[in-house]
Amino acid sequence: MKQFDIPSIFRSPIISKVKAFRKNQDPRKKDFSPTILDFGNLQLFIARHFGFCYGVENAIEIAYRAVDENKGKRIFLLSQMIHNPTVNEDLTRHGIEFIQDTSGKQLIPWEDLHSDDVVIIPAFGTTLEIEQILKDRGVSTEKYNTTCPFVEKVWNRAEKLGTENHTLVIHGKYNHEETRATFSHTALNSEAVIVKNMEEAVFLAKCITGEASKEEFYNFFKGKYTPDFDPEIHLSKIGVINQTTMLASETQEIAEYLKTVTEEFAMRSKVNKTFADTRDTLCYATNDNQSATEALMNESLDFAIVVGGYNSSNTSHLVELLEQRCSTYFIKDETEILSVETIRSFNIHTHEVETIENWMKGGKIGVTSGASCPDSIIDNVISKLLMLTGSEKSIDEVISQLI
């Protein structure tokens, strides 16, 4: 695996040793069980996989290289590099400005950009429409395009299926930057529709079988399908691709469900309807992080802490998983842990930060983070927990015993 050059502020003296130990112990990544750091009165169950993935490290390396190579020039990011406030705030401190917010709202007019400006494409990629706007402004983006290779893999698969006359069902959140980009690239070669979850997939299945009318399709998926989409024509040959940060298990569930519905209806009605296998578009890092979280759920935890940006899709799905088994607190960093009595936690259902009292019940704590969270923040969270609880063993002692 390539080693990336990322700023030292994102590196970690604690977690780096834990990850190195597990990599040496399990180089083929067959064991998803957590690493247990036993401090006596406190046991931390550290997920086997979490933190910066390949695509994120690649994006960060390119962004900071852009800063180093363009002294005196204006440097812009189309939107947030990744969904982590610590990373984006540091990029801002280095003089980078954001052209749009995460929802696509314009912060800097396109007319303000000049051909000698540097524009960085974020890890989520961008739409063909925005690429054309930048090209028309004379702005080159090839050198500092940080689009994740696994996102591009989804686009390439969609292009191939499109040339074979497949319609693409995109499992994703409609307003997410990556989904908007994937929809744009997919629409170049095929018809496409976006489904957010299994509930929407079930309705789409009714459109496949004719139980729901064309008008009902247009109302239900308003704004989420390509302009010329005709459900009576374009749902005969389909494939499922995804926003790479969605729950991989849900993408597979949706694909299997639509495949079954399509094939059973085709056999029963003697019509020609087919389904393409697209399991190869699932992101390995998303899979590994979610599998490690599921292994964490098998432990007898008193509660769990998930660290990451509150607008991070992949992080919210880790919270969604862990909530099924134990009390789970979603924090952006250690500053949200106010005391052993009080914590501030982001509620993924209400989208609000809540102040929770009497939260630390027990000493068996699951710890993980999203793919956009620096390991250094996990270090800070661990140190804060040990400081507040008065751990019986030092970090150095526990890590040395582990190794």
- The residues annotated as belonging to the active site are 178
CA 348, 352, 355, 357 torsion: positive or negative? negative
Token couple for 133 = 């706007």
Count CA atoms closer than 13 A to 400's CA, side-chain side.
5
Rg of the chain (C-alpha set): 23
Strands (E), 287-378: 303-307, 327-331, 342-347, 352-357, 364-369
Residue type, 121: I
Strands (E), 52-166: 75-77, 97-98, 118-120
Distance, in Å, from the CA atom of 12 to the CA atom of 8, rounded to the nearest integer, reads 8
Site of tokens 């939107």: 79
325 and 295 in contact (C-beta within 8 Å)?
no
Distance, in Å, from the CA atom of 154 to the CA atom of 248, rounded to the nearest integer, reads 13
Distance, in Å, from the CA atom of 209 to the CA atom of 85, rounded to the nearest integer, reads 45
